[in-house]
Structure 1
Amino acid sequence: MPLKELAERRAILHRKSDPQTIVKHALDDVQLGKVAMVSSFGAESVVLLHMISQTAPDTPILFIDTEMLFPETLQYQKDVAEELGLTNVQVVKPSREKLLEQDVDGILHTIDPDACCALRKTQPLEDALEGYDAWITGRKRYQSGSRAELPVYEKSGRKIKINPLADWNAAKLVAYIEEHNLPKHPLVARGFQSLGCAPCTTKTKPGEDPRAGRWRGQDKSECGIHIVDGKVVRQRNAA
Protein backbone atom coordinates (compact mmCIF):
# COMPACT_ATOMS: atom_id res chain seq x y z
CA MET A 1 0.00 0.00 0.00
CA PRO A 2 1.38 3.47 -0.88
CA LEU A 3 2.59 5.38 2.18
CA LYS A 4 0.27 8.33 1.60
CA GLU A 5 -2.77 6.06 1.49
CA LEU A 6 -1.61 4.15 4.56
CA ALA A 7 -1.17 7.39 6.51
CA GLU A 8 -4.58 8.67 5.44
CA ARG A 9 -6.28 5.41 6.40
CA ARG A 10 -4.65 5.37 9.83
CA ALA A 11 -5.55 9.04 10.36
CA ILE A 12 -9.20 8.22 9.69
CA LEU A 13 -9.08 5.11 11.88
CA HIS A 14 -7.67 7.07 14.82
CA ARG A 15 -9.52 10.35 14.38
CA LYS A 16 -11.23 9.81 17.77
CA SER A 17 -8.57 7.69 19.48
CA ASP A 18 -6.77 8.87 22.61
CA PRO A 19 -2.96 9.18 22.48
CA GLN A 20 -2.38 5.99 24.47
CA THR A 21 -4.39 3.98 21.95
CA ILE A 22 -2.57 5.61 19.04
CA VAL A 23 0.80 4.75 20.58
CA LYS A 24 -0.14 1.13 21.30
CA HIS A 25 -1.59 0.54 17.84
CA ALA A 26 1.39 2.19 16.12
CA LEU A 27 3.83 -0.08 17.92
CA ASP A 28 1.73 -3.16 17.09
CA ASP A 29 0.87 -2.23 13.49
CA VAL A 30 2.66 -4.68 11.17
CA GLN A 31 1.84 -2.56 8.12
CA LEU A 32 3.81 0.36 9.56
CA GLY A 33 6.89 -1.80 9.94
CA LYS A 34 9.66 -0.95 12.38
CA VAL A 35 8.79 2.05 14.56
CA ALA A 36 10.97 4.31 16.71
CA MET A 37 10.16 7.33 18.84
CA VAL A 38 12.11 10.55 18.50
CA SER A 39 12.27 12.66 21.65
CA SER A 40 14.01 15.89 22.55
CA PHE A 41 13.44 15.25 26.28
CA GLY A 42 12.20 18.82 26.30
CA ALA A 43 9.52 20.75 28.15
CA GLU A 44 6.59 18.41 27.40
CA SER A 45 8.36 15.26 26.26
CA VAL A 46 7.74 13.32 29.47
CA VAL A 47 4.05 12.85 28.61
CA LEU A 48 4.66 10.75 25.51
CA LEU A 49 7.68 9.08 27.08
CA HIS A 50 5.47 7.94 29.95
CA MET A 51 2.89 6.55 27.51
CA ILE A 52 5.65 4.64 25.74
CA SER A 53 6.94 3.30 29.05
CA GLN A 54 3.47 1.99 29.91
CA THR A 55 3.11 0.26 26.54
CA ALA A 56 6.56 -0.95 25.49
CA PRO A 57 9.51 0.40 27.54
CA ASP A 58 11.98 -1.24 25.16
CA THR A 59 10.79 0.90 22.23
CA PRO A 60 13.77 2.51 20.45
CA ILE A 61 13.87 6.18 21.53
CA LEU A 62 16.19 8.40 19.53
CA PHE A 63 17.57 11.40 21.41
CA ILE A 64 19.58 13.86 19.32
CA ASP A 65 22.44 15.36 21.30
CA THR A 66 23.52 18.26 19.11
CA GLU A 67 26.36 18.96 21.56
CA MET A 68 24.80 22.39 22.07
CA LEU A 69 21.95 21.41 24.37
CA PHE A 70 21.41 22.86 27.83
CA PRO A 71 23.23 20.82 30.52
CA GLU A 72 19.86 20.54 32.26
CA THR A 73 18.42 18.74 29.23
CA LEU A 74 21.25 16.20 29.17
CA GLN A 75 20.74 15.40 32.84
CA TYR A 76 16.96 15.35 32.47
CA GLN A 77 17.27 12.76 29.69
CA LYS A 78 19.17 10.42 31.97
CA ASP A 79 16.87 11.00 34.94
CA VAL A 80 13.64 10.46 32.98
CA ALA A 81 14.90 7.34 31.24
CA GLU A 82 15.85 5.82 34.58
CA GLU A 83 12.66 6.81 36.39
CA LEU A 84 10.36 5.56 33.63
CA GLY A 85 12.34 2.40 32.97
CA LEU A 86 13.02 3.20 29.32
CA THR A 87 15.57 0.60 28.28
CA ASN A 88 16.37 1.51 24.69
CA VAL A 89 17.25 5.22 24.59
CA GLN A 90 19.76 5.79 21.80
CA VAL A 91 21.82 8.97 22.00
CA VAL A 92 22.53 10.23 18.49
CA LYS A 93 25.32 12.75 17.90
CA PRO A 94 26.57 14.61 14.83
CA SER A 95 29.48 13.25 12.86
CA ARG A 96 32.78 14.26 14.45
CA GLU A 97 34.40 14.47 11.03
CA LYS A 98 31.69 16.75 9.66
CA LEU A 99 31.81 18.97 12.74
CA LEU A 100 35.54 19.47 12.25
CA GLU A 101 34.96 20.28 8.57
CA GLN A 102 31.96 22.58 8.88
CA ASP A 103 31.85 23.99 12.42
CA VAL A 104 35.21 23.54 14.09
CA ASP A 105 34.74 26.77 16.11
CA GLY A 106 31.14 26.06 17.08
CA ILE A 107 29.81 29.33 15.65
CA LEU A 108 27.94 28.10 12.56
CA HIS A 109 24.62 28.83 14.28
CA THR A 110 25.45 32.55 14.27
CA ILE A 111 26.21 32.57 10.54
CA ASP A 112 23.81 30.04 9.05
CA PRO A 113 21.36 28.51 11.57
CA ASP A 114 19.77 26.29 8.92
CA ALA A 115 23.14 24.77 8.08
CA CYS A 116 23.86 24.28 11.77
CA CYS A 117 20.55 22.46 12.29
CA ALA A 118 21.25 20.28 9.27
CA LEU A 119 24.72 19.42 10.53
CA ARG A 120 23.91 18.83 14.17
CA LYS A 121 20.31 17.60 14.09
CA THR A 122 18.62 16.86 10.78
CA GLN A 123 21.32 14.73 9.16
CA PRO A 124 22.19 12.74 12.30
CA LEU A 125 18.51 11.90 12.78
CA GLU A 126 18.03 10.93 9.14
CA ASP A 127 20.97 8.56 9.51
CA ALA A 128 19.59 7.14 12.77
CA LEU A 129 16.15 6.60 11.23
CA GLU A 130 17.55 4.73 8.26
CA GLY A 131 16.59 1.38 9.74
CA TYR A 132 13.03 2.38 10.61
CA ASP A 133 9.81 2.63 8.60
CA ALA A 134 7.90 5.02 10.87
CA TRP A 135 8.53 7.30 13.83
CA ILE A 136 6.55 8.79 16.67
CA THR A 137 6.87 12.49 17.50
CA GLY A 138 5.57 14.73 20.28
CA ARG A 139 4.40 17.58 18.05
CA LYS A 140 1.11 19.30 18.83
CA ARG A 141 -1.13 21.65 16.87
CA TYR A 142 -1.26 24.30 19.56
CA GLN A 143 2.51 24.85 19.54
CA SER A 144 2.61 27.27 16.60
CA GLY A 145 0.77 28.45 13.52
CA SER A 146 2.88 26.22 11.28
CA ARG A 147 1.56 23.13 13.11
CA ALA A 148 -2.12 24.12 13.23
CA GLU A 149 -3.18 21.49 10.67
CA LEU A 150 -0.96 18.71 11.99
CA PRO A 151 -2.48 15.25 11.29
CA VAL A 152 -2.15 12.28 13.63
CA TYR A 153 -0.59 10.25 10.80
CA GLU A 154 1.32 11.72 7.87
CA LYS A 155 3.61 10.67 5.07
CA SER A 156 7.02 12.27 5.47
CA GLY A 157 9.50 11.45 2.75
CA ARG A 158 9.85 7.67 2.62
CA LYS A 159 8.42 7.13 6.10
CA ILE A 160 5.23 7.48 8.13
CA LYS A 161 5.23 9.99 10.95
CA ILE A 162 2.85 9.56 13.91
CA ASN A 163 1.80 12.47 16.14
CA PRO A 164 -0.28 10.96 18.99
CA LEU A 165 -0.55 14.26 20.90
CA ALA A 166 -1.56 16.34 17.87
CA ASP A 167 -4.82 17.61 19.35
CA TRP A 168 -3.68 17.99 22.97
CA ASN A 169 -3.30 21.48 24.41
CA ALA A 170 -1.11 22.78 27.22
CA ALA A 171 -3.79 22.20 29.85
CA LYS A 172 -4.11 18.51 28.98
CA LEU A 173 -0.35 18.06 29.09
CA VAL A 174 -0.04 19.74 32.49
CA ALA A 175 -2.94 17.68 33.85
CA TYR A 176 -1.34 14.44 32.63
CA ILE A 177 2.02 15.34 34.18
CA GLU A 178 0.36 16.16 37.50
CA GLU A 179 -1.87 13.08 37.46
CA HIS A 180 1.08 10.74 36.98
CA ASN A 181 3.50 12.80 39.10
CA LEU A 182 6.02 12.95 36.26
CA PRO A 183 9.37 14.78 36.53
CA LYS A 184 9.37 18.24 34.98
CA HIS A 185 12.19 19.71 32.95
CA PRO A 186 13.99 22.10 35.34
CA LEU A 187 14.07 24.95 32.80
CA VAL A 188 10.28 25.11 32.47
CA ALA A 189 10.03 26.80 35.87
CA ARG A 190 12.52 29.38 34.60
CA GLY A 191 10.33 30.48 31.68
CA PHE A 192 11.29 28.14 28.84
CA GLN A 193 8.20 26.71 27.14
CA SER A 194 10.04 25.08 24.24
CA LEU A 195 13.60 23.82 24.51
CA GLY A 196 16.23 23.32 21.85
CA CYS A 197 19.91 24.17 21.62
CA ALA A 198 21.09 26.65 24.24
CA PRO A 199 22.43 29.32 21.82
CA CYS A 200 19.15 29.46 19.88
CA THR A 201 16.60 29.21 22.70
CA THR A 202 15.27 32.01 24.89
CA LYS A 203 12.55 32.33 27.50
CA THR A 204 9.01 33.15 26.40
CA LYS A 205 6.82 35.90 27.79
CA PRO A 206 3.26 35.37 29.07
CA GLY A 207 0.87 35.06 26.13
CA GLU A 208 3.57 34.34 23.56
CA ASP A 209 3.47 31.40 21.18
CA PRO A 210 5.13 28.45 22.99
CA ARG A 211 7.84 28.32 20.31
CA ALA A 212 8.46 32.07 20.19
CA GLY A 213 11.70 31.54 22.08
CA ARG A 214 13.14 29.30 19.36
CA TRP A 215 15.35 31.24 16.89
CA ARG A 216 13.83 34.47 18.18
CA GLY A 217 13.86 37.27 15.60
CA GLN A 218 14.67 34.94 12.71
CA ASP A 219 12.60 33.71 9.78
CA LYS A 220 12.80 30.20 11.15
CA SER A 221 10.50 28.10 13.31
CA GLU A 222 11.61 24.52 12.62
CA CYS A 223 14.98 22.82 12.82
CA GLY A 224 14.30 20.91 9.62
CA ILE A 225 13.57 17.53 11.16
CA HIS A 226 9.88 17.82 10.38
CA ILE A 227 9.59 17.85 6.62
CA VAL A 228 6.83 17.38 4.08
CA ASP A 229 7.48 14.91 1.26
CA GLY A 230 11.19 15.30 1.70
CA LYS A 231 11.20 19.10 1.69
CA VAL A 232 11.67 21.43 4.65
CA VAL A 233 8.69 23.77 4.95
CA ARG A 234 9.64 26.92 6.84
CA GLN A 235 7.14 29.41 8.19
CA ARG A 236 7.44 32.40 10.43
CA ASN A 237 6.68 31.95 14.10
CA ALA A 238 3.08 32.77 14.84
CA ALA A 239 2.55 36.24 16.27
Structure 2
Amino acid sequence: MQHETNFLTIKEQVAGLNQQAMNFDPVGILDFALRGAAPGRIALVSSFGTESIVLLHMISQIDRSLPILFIDTQMLFKETLAYQADVARLMGLTDVRHIRPDPLDISEIDPNGVLNQFNKDACCELRKTRPLQRALRGFDTWITGRKRFQSRVRAKLDFFENDGDQRIKVNPLAHWQPEDLRDYIAEHHLPKHPLLKQGFSSIGCAPCTSPVKDGEDARAGRWRDSGKTECGIHFANGEVLRQPLSKGHSS
Protein backbone atom coordinates (compact mmCIF):
# COMPACT_ATOMS: atom_id res chain seq x y z
CA MET A 1 0.00 0.00 0.00
CA GLN A 2 1.24 3.55 -0.74
CA HIS A 3 1.11 5.95 2.21
CA GLU A 4 0.65 9.66 1.88
CA THR A 5 1.27 11.57 5.10
CA ASN A 6 1.12 15.26 4.23
CA PHE A 7 1.57 14.07 0.64
CA LEU A 8 5.02 12.62 1.34
CA THR A 9 6.20 9.37 -0.17
CA ILE A 10 7.38 6.62 2.16
CA LYS A 11 10.97 7.44 1.22
CA GLU A 12 10.42 11.07 2.20
CA GLN A 13 8.65 10.08 5.42
CA VAL A 14 11.55 7.82 6.39
CA ALA A 15 14.10 10.58 5.79
CA GLY A 16 12.09 12.95 7.97
CA LEU A 17 11.62 10.40 10.75
CA ASN A 18 15.34 9.61 10.86
CA GLN A 19 16.15 13.31 11.03
CA GLN A 20 13.74 13.88 13.92
CA ALA A 21 14.81 10.76 15.83
CA MET A 22 18.57 10.89 15.29
CA ASN A 23 19.32 11.55 18.98
CA PHE A 24 16.66 9.29 20.51
CA ASP A 25 17.43 6.20 22.57
CA PRO A 26 15.55 2.95 21.80
CA VAL A 27 12.68 3.68 24.18
CA GLY A 28 12.44 7.14 22.68
CA ILE A 29 12.29 5.65 19.19
CA LEU A 30 9.50 3.28 20.22
CA ASP A 31 7.54 5.99 21.99
CA PHE A 32 8.00 8.33 19.04
CA ALA A 33 6.77 5.69 16.59
CA LEU A 34 3.89 4.35 18.66
CA ARG A 35 2.57 7.78 19.66
CA GLY A 36 1.81 8.64 16.07
CA ALA A 37 5.01 9.49 14.21
CA ALA A 38 4.93 6.21 12.28
CA PRO A 39 1.90 5.81 10.03
CA GLY A 40 -1.08 3.50 10.37
CA ARG A 41 -1.25 0.15 12.12
CA ILE A 42 1.97 -1.04 13.76
CA ALA A 43 3.21 -4.52 14.71
CA LEU A 44 6.40 -5.89 16.23
CA VAL A 45 7.97 -8.90 14.52
CA SER A 46 9.89 -10.96 17.06
CA SER A 47 11.79 -14.24 16.88
CA PHE A 48 11.86 -14.56 20.68
CA GLY A 49 15.56 -15.25 20.25
CA THR A 50 18.51 -14.50 22.51
CA GLU A 51 18.19 -10.70 22.28
CA SER A 52 14.45 -10.36 21.72
CA ILE A 53 13.68 -9.95 25.41
CA VAL A 54 15.06 -6.39 25.39
CA LEU A 55 12.67 -5.03 22.80
CA LEU A 56 9.76 -7.07 24.15
CA HIS A 57 10.33 -5.63 27.61
CA MET A 58 10.47 -2.08 26.22
CA ILE A 59 7.22 -2.66 24.35
CA SER A 60 5.59 -4.05 27.49
CA GLN A 61 6.31 -0.75 29.25
CA ILE A 62 4.58 1.25 26.51
CA ASP A 63 1.75 -0.86 25.03
CA ARG A 64 1.20 -4.49 26.00
CA SER A 65 -1.60 -4.80 23.46
CA LEU A 66 0.66 -4.12 20.48
CA PRO A 67 0.41 -6.99 17.96
CA ILE A 68 3.49 -9.23 18.20
CA LEU A 69 4.09 -11.40 15.13
CA PHE A 70 6.00 -14.58 16.02
CA ILE A 71 6.99 -16.65 12.99
CA ASP A 72 6.73 -20.32 13.92
CA THR A 73 8.41 -22.04 10.99
CA GLN A 74 7.54 -25.42 12.53
CA MET A 75 11.28 -26.10 12.64
CA LEU A 76 12.15 -24.05 15.72
CA PHE A 77 13.98 -25.35 18.76
CA LYS A 78 11.62 -26.62 21.44
CA GLU A 79 13.45 -24.27 23.81
CA THR A 80 12.41 -21.29 21.69
CA LEU A 81 8.74 -22.29 21.78
CA ALA A 82 8.82 -22.69 25.55
CA TYR A 83 10.70 -19.40 25.98
CA GLN A 84 8.18 -17.59 23.79
CA ALA A 85 5.28 -18.72 25.95
CA ASP A 86 7.11 -17.86 29.18
CA VAL A 87 8.15 -14.38 28.02
CA ALA A 88 4.72 -13.47 26.67
CA ARG A 89 3.17 -14.45 29.98
CA LEU A 90 5.82 -12.66 32.04
CA MET A 91 5.55 -9.45 30.02
CA GLY A 92 1.76 -9.51 29.91
CA LEU A 93 1.72 -9.30 26.11
CA THR A 94 -1.89 -9.72 25.07
CA ASP A 95 -1.71 -10.03 21.28
CA VAL A 96 1.04 -12.48 20.30
CA ARG A 97 0.15 -13.96 16.92
CA HIS A 98 1.73 -17.25 15.84
CA ILE A 99 2.49 -16.98 12.14
CA ARG A 100 2.92 -20.36 10.44
CA PRO A 101 3.47 -21.51 6.86
CA ASP A 102 0.45 -22.45 4.78
CA PRO A 103 -0.20 -26.21 5.22
CA LEU A 104 -1.00 -26.51 1.52
CA ASP A 105 2.35 -24.93 0.61
CA ILE A 106 4.13 -27.33 2.95
CA SER A 107 2.37 -30.38 1.52
CA GLU A 108 3.18 -29.34 -2.05
CA ILE A 109 6.74 -28.03 -1.64
CA ASP A 110 8.28 -29.62 1.45
CA PRO A 111 6.14 -32.58 2.56
CA ASN A 112 9.09 -34.41 4.14
CA GLY A 113 10.60 -31.38 5.84
CA VAL A 114 14.02 -31.62 4.19
CA LEU A 115 13.94 -28.68 1.76
CA ASN A 116 16.54 -26.91 3.90
CA GLN A 117 19.08 -29.56 2.92
CA PHE A 118 18.75 -28.75 -0.79
CA ASN A 119 17.69 -25.11 -1.03
CA LYS A 120 17.93 -23.00 2.11
CA ASP A 121 16.65 -19.86 0.41
CA ALA A 122 13.54 -21.66 -0.81
CA CYS A 123 12.96 -23.08 2.67
CA CYS A 124 13.15 -19.60 4.22
CA GLU A 125 10.82 -18.30 1.54
CA LEU A 126 8.32 -21.06 2.29
CA ARG A 127 8.47 -21.00 6.07
CA LYS A 128 9.30 -17.37 6.92
CA THR A 129 9.00 -14.86 4.10
CA ARG A 130 5.63 -15.91 2.66
CA PRO A 131 3.95 -16.29 6.08
CA LEU A 132 5.25 -12.90 7.23
CA GLN A 133 4.16 -11.19 4.03
CA ARG A 134 0.65 -12.50 4.62
CA ALA A 135 0.71 -11.46 8.28
CA LEU A 136 1.88 -7.93 7.48
CA ARG A 137 -1.08 -7.23 5.22
CA GLY A 138 -3.06 -4.51 6.91
CA PHE A 139 -0.04 -3.16 8.79
CA ASP A 140 1.65 0.04 7.68
CA THR A 141 4.69 -0.08 9.98
CA TRP A 142 6.61 -2.93 11.58
CA ILE A 143 9.23 -2.96 14.31
CA THR A 144 12.29 -5.23 14.27
CA GLY A 145 15.11 -6.03 16.68
CA ARG A 146 17.94 -5.78 14.15
CA LYS A 147 21.23 -4.16 15.15
CA ARG A 148 24.26 -2.90 13.25
CA PHE A 149 26.75 -5.08 15.09
CA GLN A 150 25.07 -8.33 14.08
CA SER A 151 26.61 -8.59 10.63
CA ARG A 152 28.21 -6.61 7.83
CA VAL A 153 24.89 -6.66 5.98
CA ARG A 154 23.30 -4.71 8.85
CA ALA A 155 26.21 -2.34 9.52
CA LYS A 156 24.44 0.78 8.21
CA LEU A 157 20.96 0.27 9.63
CA ASP A 158 18.91 3.40 10.28
CA PHE A 159 16.19 3.71 12.91
CA PHE A 160 13.57 4.00 10.15
CA GLU A 161 13.65 2.26 6.77
CA ASN A 162 11.64 2.24 3.57
CA ASP A 163 10.34 -1.32 3.23
CA GLY A 164 9.86 -1.72 -0.50
CA ASP A 165 7.72 1.43 -0.83
CA GLN A 166 4.93 -0.51 0.91
CA ARG A 167 5.44 0.21 4.59
CA ILE A 168 7.91 1.61 7.12
CA LYS A 169 10.26 -0.51 9.18
CA VAL A 170 11.51 0.61 12.61
CA ASN A 171 14.80 -0.58 14.15
CA PRO A 172 14.94 0.92 17.68
CA LEU A 173 18.06 -1.06 18.69
CA ALA A 174 20.01 -0.35 15.51
CA HIS A 175 22.84 1.49 17.28
CA TRP A 176 23.10 -0.68 20.38
CA GLN A 177 26.13 -2.87 21.07
CA PRO A 178 26.20 -6.27 22.83
CA GLU A 179 27.17 -4.63 26.11
CA ASP A 180 24.09 -2.39 25.94
CA LEU A 181 21.89 -5.46 25.64
CA ARG A 182 23.67 -7.26 28.46
CA ASP A 183 23.39 -4.22 30.73
CA TYR A 184 19.69 -3.80 30.00
CA ILE A 185 18.94 -7.46 30.64
CA ALA A 186 20.88 -7.37 33.91
CA GLU A 187 19.33 -4.10 35.07
CA HIS A 188 15.79 -5.36 34.53
CA HIS A 189 16.48 -8.96 35.61
CA LEU A 190 15.11 -10.36 32.37
CA PRO A 191 15.06 -14.09 31.58
CA LYS A 192 17.61 -15.33 29.05
CA HIS A 193 16.96 -17.74 26.21
CA PRO A 194 17.98 -21.21 27.49
CA LEU A 195 20.20 -21.87 24.44
CA LEU A 196 22.36 -18.82 25.10
CA LYS A 197 24.48 -20.71 27.62
CA GLN A 198 25.20 -23.32 24.94
CA GLY A 199 26.87 -20.75 22.68
CA PHE A 200 23.94 -19.77 20.47
CA SER A 201 24.07 -15.99 20.03
CA SER A 202 21.49 -15.88 17.22
CA ILE A 203 18.78 -18.51 17.00
CA GLY A 204 16.62 -19.49 14.06
CA CYS A 205 15.41 -22.88 12.92
CA ALA A 206 17.02 -25.91 14.55
CA PRO A 207 18.41 -27.51 11.35
CA CYS A 208 20.19 -24.32 10.27
CA THR A 209 21.51 -22.87 13.54
CA SER A 210 24.78 -23.67 15.31
CA PRO A 211 26.74 -22.14 18.21
CA VAL A 212 28.97 -19.14 17.46
CA LYS A 213 32.72 -19.30 17.98
CA ASP A 214 34.86 -16.61 19.62
CA GLY A 215 35.54 -13.74 17.25
CA GLU A 216 32.72 -14.55 14.83
CA ASP A 217 29.82 -12.29 13.88
CA ALA A 218 26.81 -12.69 16.14
CA ARG A 219 24.93 -14.35 13.27
CA ALA A 220 27.77 -16.61 12.09
CA GLY A 221 25.92 -19.66 13.38
CA ARG A 222 23.01 -19.12 11.01
CA TRP A 223 23.20 -21.24 7.83
CA ARG A 224 26.86 -21.94 8.57
CA ASP A 225 29.19 -22.52 5.59
CA SER A 226 26.38 -21.90 3.11
CA GLY A 227 27.21 -18.31 2.17
CA LYS A 228 23.73 -17.31 3.33
CA THR A 229 23.45 -14.57 5.97
CA GLU A 230 19.79 -13.47 5.92
CA CYS A 231 16.49 -15.32 5.77
CA GLY A 232 15.08 -12.78 3.31
CA ILE A 233 12.30 -11.14 5.32
CA HIS A 234 14.31 -7.92 5.58
CA PHE A 235 14.99 -7.42 1.89
CA ALA A 236 12.82 -5.97 -0.84
CA ASN A 237 12.98 -5.05 -4.50
CA GLY A 238 14.92 -8.13 -5.50
CA GLU A 239 17.94 -7.59 -3.27
CA VAL A 240 17.90 -11.25 -2.26
CA LEU A 241 17.87 -13.65 -5.18
CA ARG A 242 16.25 -17.04 -4.70
CA GLN A 243 15.48 -19.98 -6.83
CA PRO A 244 11.72 -20.10 -7.38
CA LEU A 245 9.75 -22.41 -5.16
CA SER A 246 8.62 -25.57 -6.87
CA LYS A 247 7.19 -28.92 -5.98
CA GLY A 248 9.22 -32.02 -5.44
CA HIS A 249 12.30 -30.72 -3.58
CA SER A 250 11.61 -33.04 -0.66
CA SER A 251 10.94 -36.21 -2.55
Normalized against structure 1, the TM-score is what?
0.96
Q: Deviation of residue 25 (structure 1)?
A: 1.4
2:123 alignment partner in structure 1: 116
Q: Deviation of residue 233 (structure 1)?
A: 3.8
For 2:96, which of 86, 89, 95 is the aligned residue?
89
Q: Deviation of residue 17 (structure 1)?
A: 0.0
Asked if structure 1 preserves the Cα contact closer than 8 Å seen for 2:46 and 2:69, the reply is: yes
SS at match of 1:131: coil
For 1:144, give the aligned amino acid. Answer: S
1:15 alignment partner in structure 2: 22
SS at match of 1:182: coil
Asked if structure 1 preserves the Cα contact closer than 8 Å seen for 2:148 and 2:157, the reply is: yes
Q: CA offsets, 1:110-147, max 9 Å, x none?
A: 00000000000000000000010010000000000010
Asked if structure 2 preserves the Cα contact closer than 8 Å seen for 1:226 and 1:232, the reply is: no
State the 4+ residue runs in structure 1 displaced beyond 4 angstroms: none
Q: Deviation of residue 30 (structure 1)?
A: 5.6
Q: Flag structure 2 segments of 5+ consecutive residues without an equivalent.
A: 1-7, 242-251
2:188 alignment partner in structure 1: 180
CA-based RMSD: 1.0
2:198 alignment partner in structure 1: 190
For 1:187, give the aligned amino acid. Answer: L
SS at match of 2:137: helix
Number of matched pairs? 233
Percent of aligned positions that are identical: 53
* Paired residues for 1:192-211 under 5 Å: 192-211=200-219
Larger-gyration structure (1/2)? 2
For 1:58, give the aligned amino acid. Answer: S
Q: CA offsets, 1:148-174, max 9 Å, x none?
A: 001110101111000000000000000
Change (3 A) 1:31 1:211: closer
Q: Deviation of residue 82 (structure 1)?
A: 0.3
Q: Deviation of residue 28 (structure 1)?
A: 1.6
SS at match of 1:161: strand
Normalized against structure 2, the TM-score is what?
0.91
For 1:168, give the aligned amino acid. Answer: W
* Paired residues for 1:126-137 under 5 Å: 126-137=133-144
Q: CA offsets, 1:9-52, max 9 Å, x none?
A: 10111111010011111112165111100000001000000000
Residue 224 of structure 2 is aligned to residue 216 of structure 1: yes
SS at match of 1:232: coil
Q: CA offsets, 1:74-115, max 9 Å, x none?
A: 000000000011111000000000000000000000000000
- Partners of 2:24 and 2:96 in 1: how far apart? 26
Q: Deviation of residue 232 (structure 1)?
A: 3.5
* Paired residues for 1:1-239 under 5 Å: 1-29=8-36, 32-157=39-164, 158-228=166-236, 230-233=237-240
2:3 alignment partner in structure 1: none
Asked if structure 2 preserves the Cα contact closer than 8 Å seen for 1:193 and 1:210, the reply is: yes
